[in-house]
Structure 1
Amino acid sequence: MNQYDGTAAPQPRLDDGERERRRERAAALAAELPVKDVTAVAMTWVDTSGITRTKAVPLSRLEYAAAWGVGMSPVFDVFLLDDSITQGRYAGGPAGDLRLHPVLDRLVPLAGMPGWAWAPAERFTQDGTPHPIDARWLLHREVERLAAQGLSVRTAFEVEWAVSDGDGEDFVPACNGPAYGMTRVSELSDYLRDLLRALEASGVEVVQIHPEYAAGQMELSVAAEDPIGAADTLVLVRETIRSVSFTHDLVASFSPKVAPDSVGNGCHIHLSLWQDDPAEGGFNTMAGGDGPCGMQGTGEAFAAGILERLPALLAIGAPSVASYLRLVPSHWAGAFACWGLENREAALRFVTGPLGDRNQTANVEVKCFDGAANPYLTLAAALVAGRAGVDGEFTLPEPVDGDPAGLDPAERQRRGIHALPSSLEESLAAFERDTVLRDALGEALVDTVAVVRRGELALFQDATPEEITTATRWRH
C-alpha cells in the first residue's frame, strides 16, 4: 500500500500526556454509563461515499480505545456505495492500519438504541498523528485556519428523510397525507413523538420538525453550532432517526432520491460568519452592514467565495450519481449557481432572519447539497471556499428573485447565471481543476475523492434512473 503524503500543515501528535488524559476521561465515563444501562460504545466515521460506518467496543474496553484506539484498515477510504473497493494512489489495498479513537466530549447514550452509547471517531496513524484523509480532522484544520484570521462560523444542517413501511427493497410511503399537511403528523404522531424524545434525551436541540413535499418525507432542523459540532450532531440525528424508525417497524432513507419520479432528500447547510467567537462577544458579519441585504464586507466575501466554487463543491456536497437525479431546475434544489434573498430556487439562499434578531440569525443556506454527502468533508470544503472569498475580497453578483430557469437564456448569460453541473462527472472535473481546494484539502484527499467518484460512475455507467435509485435508496 502507498504511503499517505499528509499536508504541509503541522500535524499534532497524541503524546503520552494526551493519551493519559483521554484514558482518565474514559475511565470516568465507563464508571457512569452502567447506571444508564450502557453496555457498548459505537464509534462512527463517515466514509468518502457518505456512508456512516462504525466499530464498537464493550464498555470495559473504552479506556484502551480512548488512549490507544481501535485498529481499522485505511481501505475504508475507498469503499464505494455498494461496499466494493477501488484503489487510489494514497488509499486502497489490504496492507496498513489506522487507529480509531472515540471523541469522548461527544459521547452520549443512544436513546433510540437502549444499551448503546455513541461517539464520533477520529482516525490517527500508528504513530499518533491525524490521518490526512480523516474528514473530521480536515474540518478541524479549516476551523483553525479561520480562527487564525479572527473568524468563526456557526452552522446547522437541515435533515430531510423519507419514511417507508414497505418490505424488502421497495419504498412505500409511511404516510399518505398532503405535502406539509397536519394529516401526516397525525398518521405518524407516535413515531415523531418518540423521535423528539430520543433527540432531547441525547442532548440535541431541535428547532422545528415538519412534513416535507415528497410522499413520506419529513424534515428536521437543529440549532446552530460550531462546524465540528454541527457535523457530529448531523450523524447523531440521522442514527437516532434510523433507530427510532426501526423500533416502529419503519425504515428511513436519507438518499438524494428514493423514487425516480419524486423530489429527493436535500441536506441544506446554513452558515454564518462571525468576527471572533460569538461566545466571547463576536459579531455576525452577515448582518449590520451596508452590503447586499445588510451583509458586512467580510460576510459578503465569504458567501461569494462559496458561490464561486459551487461547481467544484458539488463533487463533495452532491457526491453520488443519484444526486443529479435530484439536482434539477424548478424543484427547489438550487440547480443554478446564483444567490437571492429568500429564493429557494437559488443554490445560495440568503436568510435575514426575523427583524430584531438578525444580528444573531442572518445566514446563507447552501441548497444544492444532499444526504449522500459526508458532513465533515462538505463543511471543510465550504470553509475553504468561503475563506478564499474573504482573502480575495470577493463580492456577490446581482441577486436573483425568482426561478432562474424561467429567465431567457440570453438574460441568464448577461447576468452571469450558470446552471450547476448536471452530472457527477461534470462536478468531479470541476473539483479536480480547483487548485484552491486541492492546496487546502491535500493531494491525498483529492485523489481519494476522485477515485471513489470514478468508481461509482463506472458502477452506474449504463444504469437507468430506476436502477440508480434502487441501488442508492437504503445506503445513506
Structure 2
Amino acid sequence: MTDQQQWLRDRGARAQEARQVAARLHAEGVGGVLLTWVDNAGITRVKGVPVRRLEHAAAWGVGASPVFDAFLVDDSMTRGRFIGGPEGDLRLHPDLDRAVPLAAQPGWAWAPADRYTQEGEPHPGCQRRFARRMAERALESGIELRCAFEVEWVAARAGGPAEEPDYPTQGAAYGMDRMIDLSDCLRDLLQALDDQGVAVHQVHPEYAPGQYELSVAPEDPVGAADTCVLVRQTIRAVFARHGLRVSFAPAVEAGGVGNGSHLHLSPWRDGQNLCHGGTGPYGLTAEAEAFLAGVLAELPALLAVGAPAPGSPLRLVPSHWAGAYRCWGRENREAALRLVTGGRGEESTAANAEVKCFDGAANPYLVTGAVLAAGLGGLAAGRTLPPESRDDPATWPPGRLEQLGVERLPQTVAESLAHFQRSGLLKEAMGEVLHDIVCAVRQAETELFAGSPPEQVVAATRWRY
C-alpha cells in the first residue's frame, strides 16, 4: 500500500479523532480553530474553521493556495520554477495532537497544519513535513535530536504601522525595572503558556530597549518548531490585551541590537545525551562532535533559512553576541556555535549546543529541518570540530582568524543565498521544489530592498514579524 493510499484509508480515523477533539474543545468554550503554517518569508499564515467543522477539516483538509510559499515579507509575490501564480490548491490538515485552546484568545484554539495536494500526496513545499522527514531520517540511524528555540521580542505601545517604537519601559538592560514595568503582562504571559501546556524555563529582560527573552523545554524537532510558533503568537496576543504590540524582527532599530531566535540542540542515542560522556572536546562523543561539525560547516548556507530577512544582516554584527563568526567555543557568546556544557552534576541532561546566528524572521520548521540535514551530513562524513575559538574574534590581531580557520559569516542575504544555492546537501534534503522556492523568495526580497538604507529596511519590516 502506498503512502497516498494509506492516507486516504485513514480519513475515517482522522474524522473520528477530530470529533473527539472538537467535543473537548467545544466543552472548553472554543468556537473556532486556527490552522497555521509558516511561509518562506517567515510569516505565520492562518485559516480558521468553526470548531464544529474540525471533523471535516481533519478528514478532507482546508483549501489554501500554494502561492503562499511564494509570498514575500510585504505580501507581494514572486514565482519559482514549480510554485507561483494563481493556479492550484492545497489542503491544510490539522495536527490534532497539538490542538490546544488559546488562553489569550478566548473562544479560539490552535493547531499547526501539514499541507497536502488535492490528491492526498504530501506537498513537496511543506516546511513542516520537511522538518519531520529529517527527524525521521535521523531516527533511522538511531539519532534523536532534542531542540528548543529561544524567543526574543521587543514590546512597544500600540501605534500606526509606520510609527517608531514607543517603549513601555525605560528600564536598564537585564534590569529588574523592566520586569516591574510590565509585571502584569509578563505574569499573564506565563499563565497563558502554562494553560497551553508550554513548559517555560525562564523569562527575562534582554539588552535592547523594551526587549525580553523566553526559553522553553526541549522537544523533538517538529515539536520545537510548533512550540516556537505557539509561543510567539501567544506573546503577541497577551501583549495586545495589554495595549502593546511586539516585534520579533531581526532589526527593530537601525544600529541597535536585534531579536535572535537561537536554536539549542543536542543529539541523543538510546536515551543518552551524546553531548556528554565522550572523549572529545568538553566530553562530546565522536557522534556529537561530527554532528556539530556538520552544522558548523554548513552555517554560511544555513543563514539563508536561519537569518533570511532583509534586516537580518543588520543584527548579525560582531561584538553584539549575535554569532557573526563561523566558529565554536564553550560558553562563548560571540561564537556562532556555542557549546553549553551545563552545571556540575547536570551535564548528562543539560549539555547542548546553541546556534546563535539565527533570528526571529526564520521559519522554525525550515531551521530544524536544515540543521538536522547539516548535522547528519557531518555524521556521515565523520567530521571533527576545528580548534576552539576563545574570546571575541573581532578583537583578534591580524592573521589569527586565518590561522584558526575562522571567518566572518555572510554579511548580506545575497551572499548567504549563494552558499545555499551551492549546497548540494541542503538541496538533496529539501527536495527540488522546496529548495527552489526558498531561493526564489530570498532572491526576490533581496531585489525588493536593493539599495535601501538600513533605516528604510527596518521601517518596512519592523512590524511584519
Q: Secondary structure at the match of 1:15?
A: helix
Q: Distance in 1 between matches of 2:396 and 2:74?
A: 40
Query: Which residue of structure 2 aligns with residue 4 of structure 1?
Result: none
Contact kept, 8 Å, 2:104 with 2:234, in 1: the verdict is yes
Query: Which residue of structure 2 aligns with residue 6 of structure 1?
Result: none
Contact kept, 8 Å, 1:332 with 1:345, in 2: the verdict is yes
Alignment of 1:437-448 (within 5 A): 437-448=426-437
Q: Distance in 2 between matches of 1:350 and 1:12?
A: 42
Contact kept, 8 Å, 1:166 with 1:173, in 2: the verdict is no
Query: Which residue of structure 1 aligns with residue 123 of structure 2?
Result: 131
Q: How far is 1:401 from its partner?
A: 1.2
Q: Distance in 2 between matches of 1:212 and 1:188?
A: 13
Query: Which residue of structure 1 aligns with residue 213 of structure 2?
Result: 219
Q: How far is 1:14 from its partner?
A: 5.2
The one-letter code sitting in structure 2 at the alignment partner of 1:363 is N
The one-letter code sitting in structure 2 at the alignment partner of 1:445 is L
Query: Which residue of structure 1 aligns with residue 322 of structure 2?
Result: 333
Q: Distance in 2 between matches of 1:13 and 1:316?
A: 33
Is 2:188 the counterpart of 1:194? yes
Q: Distance in 1 between matches of 2:361 and 2:57?
A: 29
Q: How far is 1:11 from its partner?
A: 5.6
Residues 125 and 419 (structure 1 numbering): CA distance in 2 closer, same or farther, change over 3 Å? Answer: same
Q: How far is 1:173 from its partner?
A: 1.5
Alignment of 1:359-378 (within 5 A): 359-378=348-367
Query: Which residue of structure 1 aligns with residue 51 of structure 2?
Result: 59
Residues 14 and 49 (structure 1 numbering): CA distance in 2 closer, same or farther, change over 3 Å? Answer: farther
The one-letter code sitting in structure 1 at the alignment partner of 2:273 is N
Alignment of 1:384-463 (within 5 A): 384-463=373-452
Q: Secondary structure at the match of 1:270?
A: strand
Query: Which residue of structure 1 aligns with residue 224 of structure 2?
Result: 230
Q: Secondary structure at the match of 2:354?
A: strand
Structure 1: 5+ residue stretches without partners: 1-9, 277-281
Contact kept, 8 Å, 1:14 with 1:129, in 2: the verdict is no
TM-score, scaled relative to structure 1: 0.96
Cα deviations by residue, 1:69-127 (Å, 9 ceiling, x for unpaired):
00111000000000001111010011101000110000000001001000000000111
Cα deviations by residue, 1:356-411 (Å, 9 ceiling, x for unpaired):
11111100100000000000011100000000000111000111110011112311
Contact kept, 8 Å, 1:191 with 1:248, in 2: the verdict is yes
Alignment of 1:201-216 (within 5 A): 201-216=195-210
The one-letter code sitting in structure 1 at the alignment partner of 2:128 is R
Q: How far is 1:313 from its partner?
A: 0.2
Q: Distance in 2 between matches of 1:385 and 1:15?
A: 30
Q: Distance in 1 between matches of 2:8 and 2:311?
A: 45
Q: Secondary structure at the match of 1:80?
A: coil
Q: Distance in 1 between matches of 2:216 and 2:122?
A: 29
Contact kept, 8 Å, 1:88 with 1:451, in 2: the verdict is yes
Q: Distance in 1 between matches of 2:3 and 2:412?
A: 36
Structure 2: 5+ residue stretches without partners: none
Contact kept, 8 Å, 2:158 with 2:243, in 1: the verdict is no
Is 2:150 the counterpart of 1:162? no
Contact kept, 8 Å, 1:179 with 1:215, in 2: the verdict is yes
Is 2:78 the counterpart of 1:89? no
Contact kept, 8 Å, 1:289 with 1:296, in 2: the verdict is yes
TM-score, scaled relative to structure 2: 0.98
Q: Distance in 2 between matches of 1:232 and 1:114?
A: 20
Alignment of 1:252-331 (within 5 A): 252-276=246-270, 282-331=271-320
Q: How far is 1:12 from its partner?
A: 5.3
Root-mean-square deviation over aligned CA pairs: 1.0
Q: How far is 1:36 from its partner?
A: 1.3
Query: Which residue of structure 2 aligns with residue 469 of structure 1?
Result: 458
The one-letter code sitting in structure 2 at the alignment partner of 1:305 is G
Q: Distance in 1 between matches of 2:341 and 2:53?
A: 48
The one-letter code sitting in structure 1 at the alignment partner of 2:192 is A
Match for 2:26 among 29, 34, 41? 34
Contact kept, 8 Å, 2:254 with 2:458, in 1: the verdict is yes
Q: Distance in 1 between matches of 2:149 and 2:215?
A: 7
Contact kept, 8 Å, 1:163 with 1:253, in 2: the verdict is yes
Q: Distance in 1 between matches of 2:130 and 2:5?
A: 15
The one-letter code sitting in structure 1 at the alignment partner of 2:73 is L
Task: Please say which of residues 170-179 and 62-71 is displaced more in the overlay.
Answer: 170-179
Q: How many residues align?
A: 462
Match for 1:121 among 113, 134, 150? 113
Query: Which residue of structure 2 aligns with residue 279 of structure 1?
Result: none
Q: Distance in 2 between matches of 1:40 and 1:100?
A: 15
Cα deviations by residue, 1:147-179 (Å, 9 ceiling, x for unpaired):
110111000010000000152132112211000
Query: Which residue of structure 2 aligns with residue 145 of structure 1?
Result: 137
Contact kept, 8 Å, 1:209 with 1:220, in 2: the verdict is yes
Q: Secondary structure at the match of 1:238?
A: helix
Contact kept, 8 Å, 1:338 with 1:348, in 2: the verdict is yes
Q: How far is 1:17 from its partner?
A: 3.3
Q: Distance in 1 between matches of 2:421 and 2:5?
A: 30
Is 2:35 the counterpart of 1:43? yes
Q: Secondary structure at the match of 2:310?
A: coil
Q: Distance in 2 between matches of 1:409 and 1:155?
A: 36
